[in-house]
Structure 1
Amino acid sequence: MTAPHVGIWMYENGGGSAIEHKLVHALAERGIQTSTGLNLRDARAQGGEIVCNGVAMEQLDAFLSYNAGQQTQYQLYLYQVLSQTIPTLNNFNAFSLAEDKFRTAHLLSSHGIATADYRLCHKNDIDGLKAAIRDFGGKLVYKPTDGWGGVGIVKIDSEQALDMLLPFLSRTDLRYFYVERFINYDNTDYRIDIVDGKCVGCYGRKAPKDDWKTNITSGGTVFIREPGQEVIDLAIKATQLLGLEIAGVDLIYDRDKEEYVVLEVNTIPAFATPEQEALGINFNQSKLDAMVDLIDSTVQRKLALHSAKVA
């Protein structure tokens, strides 16, 4: 019997290469062979198959796509096609949903999970934008619905500031504007890592002085933070509602409403870097073990389904 075969595209920076090496070794111990470096940017599709770096992708038993969330339309298109044929982690439908901030907030809010108050306005609905900043207490945050790492996020402190921004926004090719109420919080958050419905790690992030963004790419710093059960349960519920196998859920405490708020759900949450591990943030092994279990069980389900069809 041929050994199961899994494809991997793992990020390399921040200790990613070492994580990939450990992942490949752990899967090999379970009799699962791997092909790495499968960046769909390098793939071609023809004659009923997608081939990436010599690997026939549809012949894989699973594909772990764990690299930058900001991918080209070509990569995403092939990711979607593959997800219809073989198990992908994350599955494309959940990945696509979670990458959209509005769709995520709308779904979570409709199921009773607290998110930032939000509004989606047509590009020409200037009155709607102005009504939003008044309804949100004079402060709002403009966000690209598909941004990541804090890129493109703008805090708007007044209606006058919005008036100054409108000429710029009107020249963009955006079809709509997504805005959220600016939440009064202590400039720290929780990052909860979830794998296969279980919490495998947590740490905190703190915005730099005189700023409010906690993203590492925006200058935020990490610190050891122990989550309470309420925070863990919220993160698990949000992940399950979105249908993700792997997620990093960002939560903050709204001091005005006195409740925890799910701010964002990330589809490719990074492992702790070597520098962060040196600070005592040590969830990498538990997360790696959980991902190995997830990949193994995913492969076994596919093989069992194939055997049933053959029989």
Structure 2
Amino acid sequence: MAAPHVGIWMYENGGGKAIEQKLVHALAERGIQTSTGLNLRDARAQGGSIMCNGIAMEKLDTFLSYNAGQQTQYQLYLYQTLSETIPTLNNYNAFSIAEDKFRTSHLLSSQGIVTPDYRLCHKNDMDGLKSAIRDFGGKLVYKPTDGWGGVGIVKIDSEQALDMLMPFLSRTDLRYFYVERFINYDNTDYRIDIVDGKCVGCYGRKAPKDDWKTNITSGGSVFVREPSDEVVDIAVKATKTLGLEIAGVDLIYDREREEYVVLEVNTIPAFATPEQEALGINFNHSKISAMVELIDKTVQRKLSLQSAKVA
């Protein structure tokens, strides 16, 4: 019987290549073969098969897609198609919801998980936007529904500022506007890493001086931070609600309402970089172990289903 075969596409910057090697080694110890570098940008689909770098993707037992910054519509289209045939981590349906800020907030809110108050308005609904900024206490945050790293996020401090921004926004090809209430917080957050329903790591991020965004790509810095049971429980519940196998949940504390708020759920949360590990942020080992366990479990489930069909 051939060894189970897993495909991986892992980011390479920030120590990602070393993480990939550790995953490959740990999976080999379990008798699982791996093929790496499976960037669907290089794939072609024809005759009922998706081929990528010589690998027939549908014949894989699991595909781990773990690269946030290079996803194109072509890659996502193939990712979705592949997820209908073999197990993918994350599964595409959950991935597509979590990649959309509105759909994420809408689903979490419907299940009683606190998110920022939000409003989705048609691009010509100026009255709706003005109503939102009044309802939200005079401040709101405009966000693209997709994207990552804080790109395109704008804080609007007044109705007058909204009036000034609207001529620019109206010239874009956006179909709608997604806005959130600006939350009064201490400019720090929690990043909780969840794998297969369990917390595997946590650290804090702090916005740079004279800014409010904590994203590393926006100039934020990381620091060692221990989560409370309440924070972990919220992160686990948010991940399960979205149906993700792997997630990084960002939470902040609303000082006005005195409650934790899920700000965002990331589908490809980064491992700690070597520089961050030097600061004492040491969760990579536990996260790798949990991901290997998850991949192994996913592979075995697929093989069991195949055996049952044959029988």
Q: After TM superposition, give the deviation of residue 69 of structure 1 in Å.
A: 5.2
Higher mean displacement: 64-73 or 284-293: 64-73
Q: Which residue of 1 aligns with 2:40?
A: 40
Q: Which AA in structure 2 matches 1:99?
A: E
Paired residue secondary structure (1:103) = helix
RMSD (Å), alpha carbons? 0.5
Q: Which AA in structure 2 matches 1:232?
A: V
Instruction: Return the alpha-carbon distance in structure 1 between the equivalents of residues 134 and 61 of structure 2.
Output: 52
Paired residue secondary structure (2:160) = helix
Contact 1:246/1:268 (8 A) holds in 2: yes
Q: After TM superposition, give the deviation of residue 296 of structure 1 in Å.
A: 0.2
Q: Which runs of 5+ in 1 are unaligned?
A: none
Q: Does 1:63 align with 2:63?
A: yes
Contact 1:69/1:268 (8 A) holds in 2: no
Q: After TM superposition, give the deviation of residue 68 of structure 1 in Å.
A: 1.5
Q: Deviations over 1:161-207 (max 9, x none)?
A: 00000000000000000000000000000000000000000000000
Equivalences for 1:145-224 in 2 at 5 Å? 145-224=145-224
Instruction: Return the alpha-carbon distance in structure 1 between the equivalents of residues 242 and 210 of structure 2.
Output: 34
Q: Which residue of 2 aligns with 1:82?
A: 82
Equivalences for 1:69-108 in 2 at 5 Å? 71-108=71-108
Structure 1 ranges of 4+ moved more than 6 A: none
Q: Which residue of 2 aligns with 1:141?
A: 141
Q: After TM superposition, give the deviation of residue 248 of structure 1 in Å.
A: 0.0
Instruction: Return the alpha-carbon distance in structure 1 between the equivalents of residues 178 and 272 of structure 2.
Output: 31
TM-score (norm 2): 1.00
Instruction: Return the alpha-carbon distance in structure 1 between the equivalents of residues 201 and 169 of structure 2.
Output: 39
Equivalences for 1:295-310 in 2 at 5 Å? 295-310=295-310
Q: After TM superposition, give the deviation of residue 210 of structure 1 in Å.
A: 0.2
Instruction: Return the alpha-carbon distance in structure 1 between the equivalents of residues 264 and 158 of structure 2.
Output: 24
Instruction: Return the alpha-carbon distance in structure 1 between the equivalents of residues 177 and 70 of structure 2.
Output: 20
Instruction: Return the alpha-carbon distance in structure 1 between the equivalents of residues 237 and 101 of structure 2.
Output: 17
Q: Which runs of 5+ in 2 are unaligned?
A: none
Instruction: Return the alpha-carbon distance in structure 2 between the equivalents of residues 157 and 77 of structure 1.
Output: 38
Percent of paired sites with the same residue: 88
Contact 1:89/1:246 (8 A) holds in 2: yes
Q: Which residue of 1 aligns with 2:252?
A: 252
Q: Which residue of 2 aligns with 1:263?
A: 263
Instruction: Return the alpha-carbon distance in structure 2 between the equivalents of residues 69 and 226 of structure 1.
Output: 28
Equivalences, count = 311
Q: Which AA in structure 2 matches 1:248?
A: G
Q: Which AA in structure 2 matches 1:132?
A: A
Contact 1:7/1:35 (8 A) holds in 2: yes
Q: Does 1:30 align with 2:30?
A: yes
